[in-house]
Chain A
Amino acid sequence: MAVLAPFALAVLVPFLYPALGRRIGWLVALLPFSLFVKYLSLIPPIMQGEPIFINQAWIPSMGINLTIYLDGLSLLFSLLITGIGTIITVYSISYLGAEEALGNFYVYILLFMGAMLGTVQSSNLVTLYVFWELTSISSFLLIGFWFHREESKYGALKSMLITVFGGLAMIAGFLFLYLITGTFEIREIVAQAGKVPGSIYYLPALVLILLGAFTKSAQFPFHIWLPNAMEAPTPISAYLHSATMVKAGIYLMARMTPVLGGTLEWFYILSFVGMITLVYGSFMAIRQSDLKAMLAFSTISQLGLITFLLGINTKLAVAAAVFHILNHATFKGSMFLVVGIVDHETGTRQVDRLGGLARLFPITALVMMLASAASAGLPPFNAFISKEMFFEATLHAGGAPFTAWLFPAAAVVGSIFTFVYSAVMALKVFFGPLQAGEGHGHGSHHTHDVSPTYAVTHGHDAPERAHGHRGHDTHGSDHGSGHHDHEAGHGHGGGHHGDPWGMVLPALALASLTLIIGLFPGLVEYSLVLPAASGAWGSAVKIPHLALWHGFNPPLFMSAVVVLLGLLGYRYFYRLRDVVESVQNARFNLNVLYDRGVDGLVKGARWLTDIQMTGYLRDYLVFISLFFIAAVGYTVWAKNGLKFTGMDLAPVSVYEYVLAGVMVVATLAVLWMPNRLAAILSLGVVGMGVTLMFILFRAPDLALTQLIVEAVSLAMFLLVFAHLPELKKEIVSRSEKAINAVVAVASGTLITMLLISGNATRLFDPISRYYVENSYKLGGGDNIVNVILVDFRGYDTMGEITVVAVAAFSVYALVKLRPGKGGKQR
């Protein structure tokens, strides 16, 4: 139940923050650290193949339980979440100044930690989904941490819309799995995995669940949210948008491999999406001039690599995937932290305005060297090993003949681009002539003034509202970034006082792992990688030892090609960037699609709403009557409800004909009367006609009531008329009038037919017979109507009296309390 600890602390933070101030960061860091230690202590039993399993009933009637299942795969993720969580929290203490909303920050980050731990440890699909969405929400809040900036708001919304869209698809996919297996428990589903691929629900379940995974893990074409998510404070980008949260989708795919994997659909969808993302992401990373945007695309491409491996779905590939998850978290996390330091200290993240920083920040430079060497896939760093495994896996992927050459080729191409941007980050920024942001003009050949990405959004979001005082732009969109002027960085911008230790040490701790794991892969092989791979594969996985040296083999050759061509690419970086630029300069791209989609949705909604919500009562009444005619008219016709025969009717007298005729004429006359007085008098004629009808039907008390009602309302109308303006001629088009007439006639006819049919379809004795028999006996009155009103159904009468009383008091209140006098009236 350690999963719930971060939530508990999150609740306490708002109360502790006022007392502790900035020191609260240390308290918060203690939590992931102690959890990290706890998870480390769980390695031995889990290595032995004894997963931890806790089942806490939550909503058993719906099959939703808080089931915690900690096997190798979950443990690997839990260690990443808590370990990197500790580093990030410590780093943030120096990164965020005391004037920031630190209370919010730590609440969000704890919320995220708990949610992320829950996601990777839940073995109930619905619980997993619950935590999954919580990570999206906390990510939304963290991206929008500097909520006064339009860019933050834009990025937060974009990430949320895309990931929640995927999440909703995913829960639908889970429901399909439930239809197949009858349970939400992953372990029980795995036990019945055999019947999943053959089911008719397999494909919808697969596609929907993958939508969830792809959106979360920023796979092409859903990757567009990740560059905009870089609006978050840099430690957050490192933590959520590189090391952990974006790997939730990867986790889900790994977790689902035993259930959904092993089919052709799985193989092709995953490997192709992963491959495209790998190549596209690394290609796009080249052209970014903002370091953080570069990292965003590099993360996208590395996530693609892992998806690619899961798609290949051999034991080696799965092992490589989980190993690379670990490695990527170490090197990419460190790179983000270094970029954070650079931004914090120099106030800019523009590649073209930075250089030679190693002189100012030697240790920071060291961290970047370690991390980017790993990223580039150089020995003896950890990612070299996983990259070799990746090459090996692409060579033995299986599938159609063309994949045998396509997969390795794509892997090499992606790796070359990766090599180039890694080299830029380390060498260009930290070596060469000193450039630290200020004063140096646009070093690059490309300057777009406005990013179209935002232009569209600002169109309908409140325009010109606060382009915050922090001017950094991480569009990182497919457009590249425009503005090159950064104002002061966070906290203390500009001053160069050497390495900021509070941030460098955590970064160094993380980066050193790249070398340690690279040199001693045995440290993690049996403790983490193989148990995790077994968890993903569904049974024990055995692979050749993890080692730097595997002899002269094709992967080594591929690595050599990557290094050679990569060096060449770095040598001609600017030319390469221009090439990339010219290829990817389309006006129409995925971001524009997203913006137009959001904009179109709102415009479409407005159009659709405006045509029906006209504000005119007459339109509404027409719509309602049309529905009445359609629903009731069709039903009575289709279900044979009409009946006009078999009634025991009294003969109709001449008086009644005449009276009815007069009423019809008077009703029609109301429509044509030129002024109110005439109209109301015509209406009075109708009322009096009804009164006479009551007399003809020998209901004198009803006639009397009707007469009084008519007289009083007529008098009332006349009183009020004096205060009303002239009756205006309503301007309604002919066709509209025709429609109104048709609707009116049709409704009237339908109502008449219903009433006649009702009269003709008397199937049971009415209860009124009881009232006739018992009116004197039980009610003590001869007048049945009176006895019914005051006795048998006195409760109704009480209600009607209430209505009349409320109406009376309402009129009084409306007359007395008028605007202007309003509240002041005494």
Chain B
Amino acid sequence: MNTNLIVLPVIVPMITGIILLFFYRQVKVQRVLAAISALAVMALSLYIVYAVQQQGILTLRVGHFPAPFAIVMVADLFAGIMISLSSLVSLACLFFSFGTIDAGKERHFYYAFYQIQVMGINGAFLTGDIFNLFVFFEILLIASYILLVLGGQAAQLRESLKYMIINMFSSVFFLLAVAVLYSITGTLNMADIAVKVSQAPEKGLLTAVSMVFLVVFGLKGSLFPLYFWLPRSYFVAPSAIAAFFGGLLTKVGIYASIRIFTLIFTYDTSYTHNIILYMSGFTMLLGVLGALSQNDFKRILSYHIISQVGYMVMGLGLYSPLAIAGAVFYIVHHIIVKSCLFLVAGLTEKVTGTTDLYKLGGLMKTHPVIAWLFLAAGLSLAGAPPLSGFFSKFALMQAGLQQGRYGIVFVAILVSFLTLFSMMKIFRFVFWGVTNKEHPPVQGLGYLSLVPPVAILVVLSVFFGLNAEWIMGVATASAEQLLDPQAYIQAVL
């Protein structure tokens, strides 16, 4: 169904961003406008999910030219879920920003850049055109550069330079892949590409192109061995931004991989998806080992992003309905919980001024609310039942065993164990023990105003655990859509 509805999650943040530029002096006005826009996008996203469930896949041919020639936007259930998550996390981190981002940044277009960031992410989720995907990648990257570097501390400049250069490197690969794909298939529309690829008599070069895409999206999604840019650059960012990026940004790469490896490159899964499966195992393992080697709240969390991404890709690599549903469920779980944990780190930083484990202690006594929020979110990340992390991992494990892939299931379980170890390390150092006299936590209840955005995410993680039936139903439905490319192709062409 062709509808203008689905361009709104892209256009609304863009227009808000432009408007915010004019109010750069009036921080209050900026906050109100940004909040209204974020709430509106949230409502829109949820409505889109509802509409997709009612009417099937929604499309928009921008400019109303016929299908393979116009840029097409597509909202299927997976895309709908992703934009809902993106608006949820952007909303939570926005409210967290109000209390943690300093006035200087607020006057220097922080909220405007933030809106453009949302625009880029939503655009990437909603596009049905491979070159347009490149464009939105550029938007979300340029916005992420500035959000990482804004403030201009030496460490920020150093790490974002690496982040930027590696991402430009990946953009080159992206262009290469699109160029070769275009010369083979003569089209940029992803549904059309899927048709042409399935008809192509010789597929060797196409498989090579799929590997280039894997490099590109692996870089964005921080897969093994392409994740080097991630841990340090997220560490230097302010917590609100680290939470926003940690939850969402890598997932754009994962989303794109799942999209093309369920829609386009599905003809040689025993080769391509097997490679993905191996990468997922190494990603999980090396990510969690990286986390174990760190002694800083935010650094540990950054490394865990890598290991968690491995689980999602594991679902893609297994490539069965249950596995893909598990991956979708895992993405939902991860985005919520990971953002939440970064926000908890932000809360900790707010009250103590540090995230260094050796300088922290005893917060359970002084700030019990933070301790409880962390415990729930940390256990969920580690996959402790009955929180959302458990059921999503469980689905993946079950899918793996059903296919006799014992090795990857073993790795998944091992990593889950090590994740718990790592979460408990944070818990023991930050919340247990005694207060560090050199870094005394701020007394008073001022920090409680920052709790609601975090608490909402924790409640959602608990809710998605106890109500796993519902979310698993949605994930299964979206996995069925993903594994039935014909429906996507028919809706678009």
Contact = CB atoms under 8 A, between A and B. Distances in A.
Interface of A: 57-62, 64, 101, 126, 129-130, 133-134, 137, 140, 144, 147-148, 152-153, 156-157, 160-161, 164-165, 168-169, 171-172, 175-176, 178-179, 461-462, 465-466, 601-602, 604-606, 608-610, 612-613, 615, 617, 619-621, 623-624, 627-628, 631-632, 635-636, 639-643, 751, 754-755, 757-759, 761-768, 770-771, 778, 791-796, 799-800, 802-803, 806-807, 809-810, 812-814, 816-819, 821-825
Contacts of A755: 176, 179-180
Given A62-B395, A137-B379, A164-B420, A605 B231 contact: no
Interface in B420-476: 420-421, 424, 428-429, 431-434, 468-469, 472-473, 476
A171 B394 contact: yes
B149 interface: yes
Interface of B: 14, 21, 62-63, 65, 68-71, 102-105, 107-109, 112-113, 116, 119, 123, 131-132, 135-136, 138-139, 142-143, 145-146, 149-154, 161-162, 165-166, 169, 173, 176, 179-189, 192, 196, 199-212, 214-215, 219, 225-226, 228-229, 231-232, 268, 271, 275, 286, 289-293, 303, 357-358, 361-362, 364-365, 379, 384-386, 390-391, 394-395, 397-398, 401-402, 409, 413, 416-418, 420-421, 424, 428-429, 431-434, 468-469, 472-473, 476
B432 A642 contact: no
B204 A640 contact: yes
B214 A631 contact: yes
A819 B186 contact: no
Given A172-B401, A758-B183, A763-B186, 11 more contacts: A133-B384, A157-B424, A466-B361, A608-B293, A617-B161, A617-B165, A621-B169, A635-B207, A639-B271, A761-B183, A767-B68
B275 A758 contact: no
B208 A641 contact: yes
Given A175-B398, A803-B142, A806-B143, A61 B476 contact: yes
A803 B139 CA distance: 5
A818 B472 contact: no
Contacts of A601: 292, 418, 421
B211 A624 contact: no
B132 A796 contact: yes
A824 B104 contact: yes
A448 B211 CA distance: 61
B185 A764 contact: yes
Nearest to B476: A61
A570 B162 CA distance: 71
Contacts of A793: 71, 131-132
Given A631-B275, A819-B152, A810 B62 contact: no
A160 B358 CA distance: 22
Contact of B104 (A130, A624, A823): A823
26 contacts: A59-B391, A129-B385, A133-B385, A152-B432, A160-B420, A161-B424, A171-B397, A465-B434, A605-B290, A624-B169, A624-B228, A627-B215, A628-B215, A631-B214, A635-B271, A636-B207, A639-B203, A642-B204, A754-B205, A757-B180, A757-B205, A763-B196, A806-B142, A810-B149, A817-B108, A824-B104
A23 to B, nearest CB: 21
B146 A761 contact: no
Contact of A814 (B150, B364, B424): B150
Contacts of A64: 391, 468
B247 to A, nearest CB: 21
Given A761-B205, A822-B102, A59 B469 contact: yes
B306 to A, nearest CB: 11
Contacts of B268: 639
B19 to A, nearest CB: 13
B332 to A, nearest CB: 15
Given A168-B413, A763-B185, A810-B142, A605 B180 contact: no
Contact of B201 (A147, A609, A763, A813): A763
Nearest to A771: B69
SS of A interface (majority):
helix
B472 A137 contact: no
Contacts of B153: 819
Nearest to B212: A632
Contact of B293 (A62, A605, A778, A795): A605
Contacts of A140: 424
B102 A806 contact: no
A133 B465 CA distance: 14
A617 B158 CA distance: 10
B424 A160 contact: yes
Contact of B386 (A130, A147, A153, A165): A130
Given A61-B476, A617-B165, A635-B208, A800 B135 contact: yes
A234 B476 CA distance: 48
Nearest to B289: A605
B142 A817 contact: no
Nearest to B382: A164
Contacts of A632: 208, 211-212, 215
B262 to A, nearest CB: 19
B386 to A, nearest CB: 5
A631 B223 CA distance: 13
A793 B212 CA distance: 24
A725 B166 CA distance: 24
Contact of B208 (A172, A461, A636): A636
Nearest to A65: B469
Contact of B413 (A172, A764, A766): A172
